[in-house]
Structures are given as structure tokens and as C-alpha cells.
């Protein structure tokens, strides 16, 4: 009887110690704008959720857990859970990262002195003469015999609407992988428990899983919405990436 009572008390104590509550809250910008698609991570359990369109989230946790809030373009914020957070919403304001202004080269401007400005802005006479001579040469009609194909030489057929080859994309997958790795940063992948040496491999794994990137490669441009779409694809594929090769 004493053994059963001791076992019951031990069980209740264990449940009390390991009990978890659901934490909830809202994330906004400095302008008090609700922020969707913010990743909320419980560092202890590695559970991850995203805020909805109104910036709200809910995640399992307990006192002394640390929640990390991640959003591209914003500084990462960590909030340690206290007893007060268990029964009240956790309101978080994310601060936009400071953008570095590229160095601007200052060129010589107008001085107001006609002689000085004419020297600075006008091309030398030799350059002007060379440009005119080139324009005159291009304008001359070439002798058709010079451009005619030689005997046995292949001539590319021409026709209305005929195009040779296809337009190449401005980016390839390597360019996109480098951009994603640079934009998201090493810490983003560290939070996902992806080692630095495996970042490129993991990004390629997500792309190969069917991530739509036709327009990104075509124009060489990855928008903020494309970046968020990739982050959602990461969350969908991270579990299968960690699984043994036979389970993928």
C-alpha cells in the first residue's frame, strides 16, 4: 500500500514538473502593423509555428522557456517565459534591420565657369572625330559580295518570327542558392539545426522537392514573397531532411 501511494505521489510530481501550457500572443511592427508569417520557435522543444494573417500565434511551452521570433528583414527577438505569460497574451514588436546605404561616388559638377565646364563635360576633339568616323562607316552600305556565304558554307535560314536559340535565364540554381543563404543568414539555418557545411545541400534539397522558381531564375530577382514562400517550403521539408535516407 505504501509503495502504491509513493508511486502515485511521484507520478503526480512528475506530471506537475513537466506540465506544459499553451502560450499565445501577437506580433506587430514598430508602426503597430500586424505581421503574418513570423516564425516562432520554442528553443527548448524546437517546436515552430507561424503567425496568421492577423499576427497571432499559439505554441506549447512552460515557465523559463525561451521563444525566438524570426522574420526576414527584421531583428530577431527572444522572449523568456514567466508565470505572468501563462495567462496573458505575449505581445512582441519586431524592429526592422538597419539598411546599409551604399557608397555614392561624387562626380564633378558644374562650376559656372564656361571654359572649365566645357572642358569637363565636352569630349575631346579627337574622340568626337573618331565617333563621327565610326558612325559614317556603319552608315555605308556594304558590298553584298563581302557578306555572301562561301561555297559549301552553312547559312542560317531567316524568316518571319524566326529566332535562334532561346533566351537564357539571368540566374541558375547556384545563384539562387547563394542568394537564399546570404539573405537568410547562417543563424537561420543554425536554428533549424543545419550545420554550416550542409546549408547549400539543404537548400538544394528544398528546391529539388518542387519549389517553383521559374520566374526567379528568368528575371534574376527574388522578392520578399518568394523568400517567405521558400521559408514555408523549408518548414514543410525539414522533418524529412532530418529523417534517415531510407525514410525520405
Could you state, in order of their start, the residue ranges of all structural domains in the chain? Answer: 17-93, 173-247
pLDDT of residue 92: 93
Q: What are phi and psi of 40, to 5 degrees?
A: -110, 125
At 97 the pLDDT is: 86
Name the residue with higher pLDDT: 163 or 65.
65
Q: How many C-beta atoms lie closer than 10 Å to residue 21's C-beta?
A: 14
In this structure, which CATH number among 2.40.10.220, 3.40.50.2000, 3.30.420.40, 2.60.40.10 belongs to the domain 17-93? 2.60.40.10
Q: Which three cell numbers stand for residue 139?
A: 552608315
Inform me whether the pLDDT recorded for 217 exceeds 80. Answer: yes
Per the confidence metrics, is the pTM higher than 0.75? no
What beta strand segments (E) does 19-162 contain? 21-28, 39-42, 47-50, 56-61, 66-70, 77-80, 90-93
Q: CB neighbours of 204 closer than 8 A, spacing ≥ 6?
A: 173, 177
Mean pLDDT throughout 173-182?
92
Q: What CA–CA distance (Å, rounded) separates 130 from 170?
A: 34
49: which residues sit within 8 A by CB, 6+ positions away?
39, 40, 57, 58, 59
pLDDT at 1: 53
Q: Has residue 228 got a pLDDT over 90?
A: yes
pLDDT digits (tens, 9 = 90+) for 115-163: 566 566 566 777 777 777 777 766 665 555 555 555 555 555 444 444 4
Task: Tell me the per-residue pLDDT of 72-120, one tens digit each, with 9 for 90 and over.
Answer: 889 989 999 988 887 789 999 999 987 655 665 555 556 666 556 656 6
Lowest mean pLDDT among 74-78, 120-124, 177-181, 195-199: 120-124
| Residue-level pLDDT at 93 | 93
C-alpha cell at 140: 555605308
Cell 512552460, residue? 62
Amino acid at each position: 500500500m505504501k509503495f502504491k501511494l509513493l508511486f502515485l505521489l511521484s507520478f503526480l510530481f512528475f506530471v506537475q514538473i513537466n506540465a506544459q501550457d499553451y502560450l499565445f500572443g501577437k506580433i506587430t511592427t514598430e508602426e503597430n502593423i500586424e505581421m503574418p508569417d513570423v516564425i516562432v520557435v520554442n528553443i527548448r522543444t524546437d517546436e515552430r509555428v507561424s503567425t496568421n494573417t492577423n499576427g497571432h500565434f499559439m505554441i506549447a511551452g512552460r515557465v523559463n522557456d525561451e521563444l525566438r521570433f524570426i522574420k526576414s528583414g527584421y531583428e530577431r527577438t527572444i522572449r523568456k517565459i514567466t508565470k505572468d505569460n501563462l495567462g496573458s497574451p505575449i505581445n512582441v514588436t519586431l524592429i526592422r534591420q538597419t539598411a546599409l546605404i551604399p557608397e555614392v561616388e561624387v562626380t564633378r559638377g558644374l562650376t559656372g565657369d564656361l571654359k572649365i565646364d566645357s572642358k569637363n563635360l565636352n569630349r575631346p576633339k579627337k574622340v568626337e572625330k573618331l565617333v563621327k568616323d565610326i558612325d559614317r562607316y556603319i552608315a555605308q552600305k556594304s558590298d553584298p559580295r563581302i557578306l555572301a556565304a562561301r561555297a559549301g558554307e552553312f547559312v542560317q535560314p531567316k524568316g518571319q518570327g524566326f529566332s535562334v536559340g532561346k533566351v537564357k535565364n539571368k540566374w541558375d540554381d547556384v545563384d539562387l542558392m547563394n542568394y537564399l543563404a546570404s539573405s537568410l543568414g547562417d543563424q537561420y539555418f543554425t536554428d533549424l539545426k543545419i550545420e554550416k557545411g550542409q546549408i547549400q545541400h539543404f537548400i538544394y534539397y528544398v528546391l529539388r522537392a518542387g519549389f517553383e522558381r521559374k520566374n526567379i531564375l528568368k528575371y534574376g530577382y527574388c522578392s520578399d514573397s518568394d523568400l517567405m514562400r521558400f521559408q514555408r517550403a523549408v518548414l514543410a521539408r525539414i522533418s524529412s531532411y532530418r529523417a534517415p535516407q531510407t525514410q525520405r
